[in-house]
Copies of this chain bind each other. A is one copy, B any other.
Amino acid sequence: MAERNQQLQSPPGDCKVAEKIAEMSVVDKVPSEMANGGVEDSNDVVTPWNVESNNETGIDYDKLIQRFGCSKIDDELLNRFEKITGHKPHHFLRRGIFFSHRDMHTILNMYEQGKPFYLYTGRGPSSESMHLGHLIPFMFCKWLQDVFDVPLVIQLSDDEKAIWKNLKIEDAIKLSYENAKDIIACGFKVEKTFIFSNLEHIGNNAAYYQNMIRIQKCVTFNQVKGIFGFGDSDPIAKISFPPTQAAPALSSTFPFIFKNWKVPCLIPCAIDQDPYFRMTRDVAPRLNHPKPALIHSSFFPALQGSKTKMSASDTNTAIFLTDTAKQIKNKINKHAFSGGRATVEEHRQFGGNCGIDVSYQWLRFYLEDDERLEEIRKGYTSGEILTGELKKELIEILQKLVADHQERKNKITSEVIKQYMLPRDLGFVVKSK
């Protein structure tokens, strides 16, 4: 309720209506989405800057759904998805890798009614090469773009990385361009995709800065303190940043794409980014925009196990998209945490534990064939399949995936990058009925 009250000491500006809504909410005892979440509980830490669990099986996602106040992706939603789109849900959906959502039914309703929406995702470019975990939201976005045939905006939050990772502005921009190559290599349609670096684009789009100010007017320091855990000794760069990540969820941020239409937005992202968008969902209606819908992924585990996610700064926790076939083989053989038994004999007798075996977990992300995955699960659990065999299958899949990615990436010239990163009309039109 503290947060609720803070909202009532409301900031000035375009927010008068919002204050009314806020007051109504209090009367109705409907809590603000901003109030949900909190930073950590006893076991799991999930913030935009830190993800840690004490459990070998990783984060307790059901608890997280409760804590964040979002909704589990259930069979009903998946069935509706298939019925409405005519597409079998992606294996990330079928296997609960994308496991949670906010307002996905609204998005499906819109699609069903032929109404437009757009996709927004992003990345903070903290290293030259992306790793396998970073690919997940982009692979999924690419698939969603194919299914829905909608525009996609991709934010490279190099300003965020300059702030949090102590990077020089110039170096952060360079990383944006490096990462843009990896992102483009995922196969997005150039005619429907706009990729931008904050440090370059915000100074090239007056509507963006204006929306940042509008959002900043609606959020107090108390609120960002509650949502993100900022403190008094934090630089104001951190305190100022959340609206910069929020702005692209409002279609008016991109007038060259969406003109004057208020277009709903769907944001696929890892669950640790939810705090930004809880804030955005609280603010959007005050600025006369629809709340963005969300679809959340779980974390891609580090080679060392599910207690943490992969880290770009520790090269042995991750397979990078620049790794050679040999490096991939060595890293998995050497570092992938095994759910197998101490000896072959014991393994044959008691079987392995897929729940904690990183190679098996990775296969869930990267082996598309459901039947083969089920065979492996059964075989490993029963002891029929040994850790080495499991790893061999994973290595082959990843070697091919990374080699294919590198081949596509090598073809991406600076001219191609420019095409994606040029602010431009994407041919988006709202048809009036």
A164, B216: Cα distance in complex, Å: 12
Q: Are A236 and B213 in contact (CB under 8 A)?
A: no
Query: Which of B16, B168, B208, B242 is close to A203, meaning CB atoms less than 8 Å apart?
Result: B208
Give the contact stretch, choosing among A124-132, A186-194, A219-227, A358-366: A219-227
Contact B210 A236 (CB under 8 A): no
Q: Does A200 contact B (CB under 8 A)?
A: yes
Asked if B210 and A203 make an inter-chain contact with CB atoms under 8 angstroms apart, the answer reads: yes
Whether the Cβ atoms of B6 and A233 lie closer than 8 Å is yes
Residues of B within 8 A of A162 (CB): 13, 213, 217
Best-buried of A14, A16, A199, A235 by chain B (most CB within 10 Å) = A235
Q: Given the known inter-chain contacts A203-B206, A204-B206, A207-B203, please indicate yes or no for A12 contacting B163, CB distance below 8 A.
A: yes
Cβ of A104 to closest chain B Cβ, rounded Å: 30
Given known pairs A203-B202, A203-B203, the reply for A236 and B221 (CB within 8 Å) is yes
Chain B residues whose CB sits within 8 angstroms of the CB of A216 once the complex forms: 163, 235-237, 240
Known: A159-B213, A162-B213, A221-B221. A235 touches B203 (CB 8 A): no
* Copies, count: 2
A248 to chain B, nearest CB (A): 14
By secondary structure, the A interface counts as helix
Nearest-neighbour CB distance to chain B for A227, whole angstroms, equals: 11
A360, chain B: closest CB distance, angstroms: 38
What is the size category of the interface that chain A forms with chain B?
35 or more
Instruction: Judge whether B203 and A199 touch: CB under 8 Å.
Output: no
Instruction: Output the least CB separation between A3 and chain B (Å).
Output: 12
Q: Report which of B199, B220, B224, B230 forms a contact with A210, defined as CB distance below 8 A.
A: B199
Partner of A233, one of B221, B233, B236: B221
Choice from B12, B222, B237 contacting A164 with Cβ under 8 Å: B12
Assess whether A205 is interfacial by the CB under 8 Å rule: yes
Give Cα distance in the complex from A217 to B47, angstroms: 21
Residues of B within 8 A of A168 (CB): 14
Q: Judge whether A9 is part of the interface by a CB distance below 8 angstroms.
A: yes
A9, A166, A231, A233: residue with the most chain B Cβ atoms closer than 10 Å: A233
C-alpha spacing A210/B203, complex, angstroms:
8
Q: How far is the CA of A14 from the CA of B162 in the complex (A)?
A: 9
Contact of A213 among B13, B163, B207, B209 (CB under 8 A): B163
Contact B200 A235 (CB under 8 A): no
Which of B214, B219, B222, B242 has a CB less than 8 Å from the CB of A169? B214
Question: Which residues of chain A in 125-172 are interfacial with respect to chain B, using CB atoms and an 8 Å cutoff?
Answer: 159, 162-169
Q: Are A209 and B199 in contact (CB under 8 A)?
A: yes
Please report the C-alpha to C-alpha distance between residue A318 and residue B217 in the assembled complex, in whole angstroms: 30
- Inter-chain contact B233/A213, CB cutoff 8 Å: no
Q: A166 CA to B159 CA in the complex, in Å? A: 28
Q: Closest approach, in angstroms, between the C-beta of A429 and any C-beta of chain B?
A: 25
Tell me the smallest distance from the CB of A311 to a CB of chain B, in Å: 18
Contact assessment for B240 and A239 in the assembled complex, using a CB-CB cutoff below 8 Å? yes
Q: A176 to B199, alpha carbons, bound, how many Å? A: 25
On whether the beta carbons of A233 and B222 are closer than 8 Å, the reply is yes
Chain B positions within 8 Å of A203 at CB level: 202-210
Say whether A352 faces chain B, with CB atoms less than 8 Å apart: no
B163 adjacent to A234 (CB under 8 Å): no
Interface residue A97 (Cβ < 8 Å from any Cβ of B): no
Q: Which 5 A-B pairs have the closest CB atoms?
A: A203-B206, A11-B235, A216-B237, A240-B240, A12-B166
